[in-house]
Amino acid sequence: MASKVINKNNQIYSAVLRYVVLTIVAIIMIYPILWLIGASFKSNTEIFTEVGFIPKRIDFTPYIEGWKTRTEYSFTTYFMNTFKIVIPKLVFCLISSTLVAYGFARFNFRGKKLLFSLLMATMFLPAVVTRIPLYLLWKDFGMLDTYVPLIAPTVFAQEPFFVYMLIQFLRSIPRDLDEAAIIDGCNSFSVLWRVLLPALKPALISCIIFQFVWSFNDFLGPLIYVSSVEKYPVAMALKMSIDTSSGVVEWNQILAMSLISLLPALLLFFGAQKYFVEGVTSSGIKG
């Protein structure tokens, strides 16, 4: 009896210790976000002299002035530009990656192993290697200062990470479902549309989250291909806000706009967190 009480107490102490450690780690991880929120209401003096994240007063002026920017365009324009890049990339990435993954996972054809090996090899190819050739290519096509160079690669499934993740997820789905659908009169496309896509929902949502975050935060791509201020996405607009020529940088405005630019990705992640975790864990299982 005494041993049972001791074991129960040990379990309680162990659980309390785990929750304390997890709480401390969570506070450490979330502190930068808390500091960002507090600093957006502070003055420059407060930002650089106080470690705490709680501001002396709540003033939404940095958000109002930061949204207006010092250019002729407000952040409304920059957010719209960002979504003009992000939404087509999401759509084309899902369509192309799903079709390519379906082909590798469900069909046998000549050179399949070689092509799959080349696909995997491109995952380890540094993007910097292709920057200059791609820039010269789009320059010859007259596509500089447009969003085409940023969107076009997703049309041709040049996102091997997503293709690989979908292939692994498709391999975890029994082929019996395909055979049953074919017996019922479905062709290859109908099998994909009616049978496999509903089962792919967690993996597709994982792709959406990854692609959205990467595209929304992309700075180098627009920096290389986009030169007109009216076409800048949010990432470049934030960099442009750090104007040192005037001698004074309003950091509270920059931090306020940085916080707003984080919100779409945070809302998407927390809204689809359940499917995201399920998609990432299931994509590593091979049936």
Return the CATH number at 194: 1.10.3720.10
151: in domain = yes
- pTM for the full predicted model: 0.83
| 9-58 pLDDT tens trace | 677 888 888 899 999 998 888 888 888 888 888 888 888 887 777 888 88
pLDDT of residue 287: 42
| Contact predicate 116/100, CB 8 Å | no
Residues 113, 19 within the same domain: no
How far is 185 from 187, CA to CA, in rounded Å? 7
Flag the least confident range among 46-55, 71-80, 134-143, 229-238.
46-55
- The pLDDT value given to residue 53: 79
pLDDT mean over 63-92? 91
Distance CA 261, CA 271 (A): 17
Query: Which residues form the domain of 52?
Result: 2-58
- In this structure, the answer to whether residues 23 and 164 fall within a common structural domain is no
Least confident segment among 38-52, 134-148, 184-198, 266-280:
266-280
CB atoms within 10 A of CB 17: 10
Q: Is the dihedral of CA 184, 190, 192, 197 positive or negative?
A: negative
In a domain, 269, yes or no: yes
- What whole-number percentage of the chain has pLDDT above 70? 91
| Residue 277 covered by a domain | yes
Digit-coded pLDDT (tens) for 248-283: 778 888 899 999 998 898 888 888 777 666 655 554
Q: How confident is residue 174, by pLDDT bands cut at 50, 70 and 90?
A: confident
Taking each helix axis from N to C end, the angle separating 112-123 and 75-106, rounded to the nearest 10 degrees, works out to: 150
> What is residue 281's predicted lDDT score, i.e. its pLDDT?
52
The pLDDT, as a whole number, for residue 245 is 56
**Domain boundary, last residue among 43, 58, 73:** 58
Number of H-type helices and E-type strands within the chain:
16, 0
Two tokens at 277?
């975790």
* Total domains present in the chain: 2
Residue 22, helix vs strand vs coil: helix
**Does residue 287 lie in a domain region?**
no
